[in-house]
């Protein structure tokens, strides 16, 4: 039970909310294998079509909502139960679900005889690029007897070809073989179309190229079969073992649904757990098309730099479980400890659910000399490296490894510094559709000039401060100055334009957008100072200071009760989340007076709805990422209001999608706009990157004073409780 005690220790801190079936929360969707924009399979949970959080009975889905059938059955003393998906057996009885930052753990008790623990581990290893580059995920299954007797146990799992193609009528091919440590299936679309996604009504999302692998430990207990779903599953249900049949008729995904099955013929199981390991993943030889300094190039995924071929990569990953698990568990522990200290158990429910979602939208590409971290915007559209999506994502990147932020900014600088973008302001994204980062040589990208200039200046300084990389600032000084110059012209009185919240429409004189631009100028002042450009530093800093003074006159409804900043200048009845204020705190610019922070943090509780504070007065919806940016600027009382409202929303929203950052603060539902599984949820780490500094004269209250009782009991006592449950 070594594995279990490691998991138990990882979960212990997250376990204070025990009594309920779900810990630390019941999320709208549960990550199963979430590792890259294309390897992204979830269990949908929310009442709006989800399973309620039960692994058995409903098929896992890709983030687009398309089924990626993945089944699990167990035969105990001759009786068959299903524990994942819906292969057509009675459901096994699920007794708990726990999530950490990298793991989703389901526990079942079967007929009071046998305990089954199914753990999905999608490793997140931001400091270890070799491991992070692999687009594979684990499922481990532990079976043990709990009634003191031994039981005859057989374990089954399969995947369908839906994993390998977005369209059900696409023809797929497959093979099976062994590597040193695995028996595996490889399933691929017959017509490989590099860099293309299948066009489905529900939005693009699955890759038209590459291969899906499903692997397990080989050995004398393993039996296999490939064939029509009903035949293969029927074979296990009837006999508990697979006869090795291998269907050679390559065909469409939905033509007599071929499935690829493993069964571990375990036999007698006592109190000593039997452990089976499975690896699922995607390999592609080409990852991204990029228009950079060398012109248009096609870049391989970074793992191709470390491994001769996909089989070597698969074999390494499968056999590396102990390391992957230990690195991931360290991250789980760090996120848990830091989150609880910064905002209590409710905050941990939010941060730990965001980790796989945030990293799952990214992919490491290139080679060891020139590595890039590319990102897909995911559902709101498929844009590559959207600057105002990298921005809300960047807190989790800074928290886990600031160097990765450079790998995200690099392609943006490289494209624009090579003359591939004609506008004075910063580009909005590197391509209209991932995995194409082919830029916008005609300058006709979605225009968010103030937003993106501010974002680039802020993130570049944030990276340089945390990585202590002054050279990076020198290297990009020229274009940073160009963007700062644009902001000097256009940030104090922003023209009619979109902000990042483009779904709300265009508006002139947006108060929060102006603040972003002015902080961008302040950031340029600091960049100039750090690079020894004293005259520039003085000029940018004094402009930023003077703009902030004017902005306070223009953007604050001073006579309102209580006073607050407006959505747009002069519109005194309007308000909104002033989330860009966090950047002043993040960069330690001290540009905005503390009284503005205090005014806002006193104001938010007066406009609180059931599930949080509306983004602005145009709608009742809000954004979870911006709420956490805002919370991070406030002292504990207001901060914890934001945190507990967002955590309550996570536990009760009817949506059954991977965290929808956009949701309604009154109904808890999400507006028709498809905003799901987006990397922006990495913004929930804002509080861990730069917490509020205490307002003058006020002492910070002890952290963790929130609904769930914060740190209830010591780590050791929680660990004991947890171990009791697992044994």
Binding site for ligand NAG (CB under 6 A): 195-197, 231, 235, 243-245, 289, 433, 436, 493, 508-509, 554, 557-559, 569-570, 572
Contacts of 534 (CB under 8 A, 6+ apart): 528
Do residues 356 and 31 lie in contact, with contact meaning Cβ atoms separated by under 8 Å? yes
Output DSSP code: residue 295: E
Nearest to 519 by CA among 694, 342, 690, 697: 690
CB of 231 to ligand NAG, least distance (A): 5
CB of 557 to ligand NAG, least distance (A): 5
CB of 436 to ligand NAG, least distance (A): 4
CB of 393 to ligand NAG, least distance (A): 20
Q: With respect to ligand NAG, which residue has the nearer C-beta, 447 or 572? A: 572
Q: Is the dihedral of CA 58, 63, 65, 71 positive or negative?
A: negative
Exposure string over 112-134, b if 16+ CB within 10 A, otherwise e: ebbbbbbbbbbbbbbeebbbbbb
Sheet containing strand 61-62, edge to edge, reads 29-34, 40-44, 61-62
3-state helix, strand, coil in the chain (%, to 5): 35, 25, 40
CB of 617 to ligand NAG, least distance (A): 14
Exposure string over 515-529, b if 16+ CB within 10 A, otherwise e: bbbbbbbbbbbbbbb
Q: With respect to ligand NAG, which residue has the nearer C-beta, 196 or 447? A: 196
**Token output for 398:** 């800074």
Q: Beta strand 436-437 with 288-292: parallel, antiparallel or unpaired?
A: parallel
Would you call the peptide bond into 24 cis, given omega within 30 degrees of 0 as the criterion? yes
Q: With respect to ligand NAG, which residue has the nearer C-beta, 208 or 645? A: 208
CB of 150 to ligand NAG, least distance (A): 29
CB of 224 to ligand NAG, least distance (A): 11
Q: With respect to ligand NAG, which residue has the nearer C-beta, 369 or 573? A: 573
Q: With respect to ligand NAG, which residue has the nearer C-beta, 571 or 620? A: 571
Phi, psi (deg, nearest 5) at residue 149: -110, 170
d(CA 631, CA 617): 18
CB of 413 to ligand NAG, least distance (A): 22
CB of 586 to ligand NAG, least distance (A): 27
CB of 235 to ligand NAG, least distance (A): 5
CB of 365 to ligand NAG, least distance (A): 15
Q: With respect to ligand NAG, which residue has the nearer C-beta, 122 or 383? A: 383
Exposure string over 290-321, b if 16+ CB within 10 A, otherwise e: bbbeeeeeebebbbbbbbeebbebbbbbbbbb
Report the length, in residues, of the chain: 727
Q: With respect to ligand NAG, which residue has the nearer C-beta, 247 or 707? A: 247
Residue 673, SS3 per DSSP: coil
CB of 331 to ligand NAG, least distance (A): 31
Q: With respect to ligand NAG, which residue has the nearer C-beta, 243 or 268? A: 243
Q: Beta strand 211-216 with 103-110: parallel, antiparallel or unpaired?
A: unpaired
CB of 712 to ligand NAG, least distance (A): 46
Q: With respect to ligand NAG, which residue has the nearer C-beta, 196 or 305? A: 196
Q: With respect to ligand NAG, which residue has the nearer C-beta, 94 or 436? A: 436
Q: With respect to ligand NAG, which residue has the nearer C-beta, 535 or 559? A: 559
Q: Is the dihedral of CA 414, 417, 418, 424 positive or negative?
A: positive
Q: With respect to ligand NAG, which residue has the nearer C-beta, 319 or 572? A: 572
CB of 214 to ligand NAG, least distance (A): 20
Q: Using H for helix, E for strand and C for coil, what is the string for 603-625?
A: HHHHHEECCEECCECCCCEEEHH
d(CA 224, CA 245): 7
d(CA 208, CA 527): 43
CB of 475 to ligand NAG, least distance (A): 29
d(CA 192, CA 215): 22
- Say which residue the tokens 């796989």 belong to: 356
Q: With respect to ligand NAG, which residue has the nearer C-beta, 206 or 461? A: 206
Angle at 291 between CA 288 and CA 294, to 5 degrees: 110
CB of 568 to ligand NAG, least distance (A): 7
d(CA 557, CA 559): 6
Do residues 142 and 275 lie in contact, with contact meaning Cβ atoms separated by under 8 Å? yes
Residue 562, SS3 per DSSP: coil
Q: With respect to ligand NAG, which residue has the nearer C-beta, 528 or 557? A: 557
Name the burial class of residue 199, with classes exposed (0-12), middle (13-18) and buried (19+) by CB atoms within 10 angstroms of its CB.
exposed
Q: With respect to ligand NAG, which residue has the nearer C-beta, 61 or 235? A: 235
Q: Is the dihedral of CA 109, 114, 115, 121 positive or negative?
A: negative
Q: With respect to ligand NAG, which residue has the nearer C-beta, 86 or 289? A: 289
Nearest to 574 by CA among 612, 618, 512, 621: 618
Q: With respect to ligand NAG, which residue has the nearer C-beta, 3 or 493? A: 493
CB of 297 to ligand NAG, least distance (A): 12
């Amino acid at each position: 039970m070594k594995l279990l005690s490691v998991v138990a220790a990882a979960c212990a801190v997250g376990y204070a909310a025990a009594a309920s079936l779900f810990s630390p929360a019941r999320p709208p969707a549960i990550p199963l294998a979430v590792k890259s924009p294309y390897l992204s399979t979830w269990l949908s949970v929310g009442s709006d079509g989800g399973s309620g959080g039960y692994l058995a009975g409903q098929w896992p889905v890709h983030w687009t909502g398309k089924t990626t059938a993945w089944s699990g059955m167990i035969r105990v003393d001759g009786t068959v139960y299903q524990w994942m998906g819906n292969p057509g057996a009675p459901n096994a009885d699920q007794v708990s679900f726990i999530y950490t930052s990298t793991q989703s753990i389901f526990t079942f008790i079967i007929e009071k005889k046998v305990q089954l623990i199914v753990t999905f581990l999608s490793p997140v290893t931001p400091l270890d690029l070799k491991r992070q580059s692999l687009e594979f995920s684990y499922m481990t299954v532990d079976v043990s007897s709990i009634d003191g007797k031994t039981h005859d146990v057989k374990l089954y799992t399969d995947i369908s070809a839906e994993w390998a193609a977005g369209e059900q009528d696409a023809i797929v091919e497959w093979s099976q073989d062994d590597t040193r440590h695995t028996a595996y299936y490889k399933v691929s679309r017959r017509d490989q179309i590099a860099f293309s996604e299948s066009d489905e009504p529900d939005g693009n999302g699955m890759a038209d190229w590459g291969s899906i692998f499903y692997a397990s430990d080989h050995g004398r207990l393993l039996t296999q079969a490939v064939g029509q779903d009903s035949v293969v599953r029927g074979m296990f249900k009837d006999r508990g073992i697979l006869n090795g049949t291998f269907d050679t008729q390559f065909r469409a995904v939905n033509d007599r649904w071929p499935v690829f099955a493993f069964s571990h013929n375990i036999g007698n199981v006592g109190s000593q757990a039997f452990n089976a390991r499975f690896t699922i993943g995607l390999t592609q030889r080409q990852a991204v098309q990029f228009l950079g300094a060398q012109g248009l190039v096609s870049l391989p995924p970074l793992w191709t730099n470390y491994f001769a071929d996909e089989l070597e990569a698969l074999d390494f990953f499968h056999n590396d479980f102990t390391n992957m698990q230990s690195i991931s568990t360290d991250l789980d522990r760090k996120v848990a400890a830091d989150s609880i200290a910064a905002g209590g158990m409710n905050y941990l429910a939010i941060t730990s659910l965001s980790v796989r979602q945030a990293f799952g939208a990214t992919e490491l590409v290139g080679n060891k000399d020139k590595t890039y971290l590319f990102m897909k915007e995911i559902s709101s559209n498929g844009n590559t490296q959207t600057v105002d999506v990298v921005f809300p994502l960047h807190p989790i990147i800074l928290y886990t490894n600031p160097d990765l932020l450079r790998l995200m900014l690099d392609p943006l600088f490289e494209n624009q510094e090579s003359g591939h973008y004609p506008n004075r302001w910063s580009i909005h994204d590197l391509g209209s559709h991932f995995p194409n980062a082919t830029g916008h040589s005609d300058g006709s990208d979605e225009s968010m000039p103030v937003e993106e200039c501010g974002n680039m200046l802020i993130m570049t300084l944030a990276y340089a401060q945390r990585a202590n990389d002054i050279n990076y600032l020198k290297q990009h000084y020229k274009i940073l100055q160009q963007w700062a110059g644009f902001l000097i012209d256009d940030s104090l009185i922003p023209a009619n334009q979109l902000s990042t919240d483009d779904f709300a429409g265009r508006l002139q004189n947006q108060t929060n957008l102006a603040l972003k631009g002015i902080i961008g100028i302040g950031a340029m002042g600091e960049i100039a100072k750090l690079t020894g450009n004293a005259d520039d530093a003085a000029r940018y800093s004094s402009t930023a200071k003077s703009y902030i003074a004017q902005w306070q006159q223009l953007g604050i409804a001073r006579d309102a009760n209580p006073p607050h900043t407006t959505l747009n200048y002069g519109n005194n009845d309007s308000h909104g989340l002033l989330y860009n204020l966090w950047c002043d705190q993040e960069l330690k610019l001290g540009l905005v007076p503390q009284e503005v922070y205090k005014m806002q943090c006193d104001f938010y509780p007066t406009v609180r709805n059931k599930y949080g504070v509306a983004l602005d007065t145009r709608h009742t919806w809000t954004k979870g990422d911006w709420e956490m940016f805002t919370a991070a600027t406030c002292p504990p009382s207001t901060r914890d209001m934001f945190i507990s409202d967002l955590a309550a929303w996570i536990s009760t929203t009817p949506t059954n999608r991977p965290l929808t950052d956009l949701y309604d603060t009154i109904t808890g539902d999400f507006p028709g706009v498809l905003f799901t599984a987006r990397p922006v949820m990495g913004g929930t780490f804002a509080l861990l990157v730069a917490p509020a500094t205490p307002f003058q004269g006020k002492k910070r209250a002890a952290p963790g004073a929130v609904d769930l009782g914060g740190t209830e009991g010591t780590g050791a006592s929680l660990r004991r409780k947890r171990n009791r449950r697992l044994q």
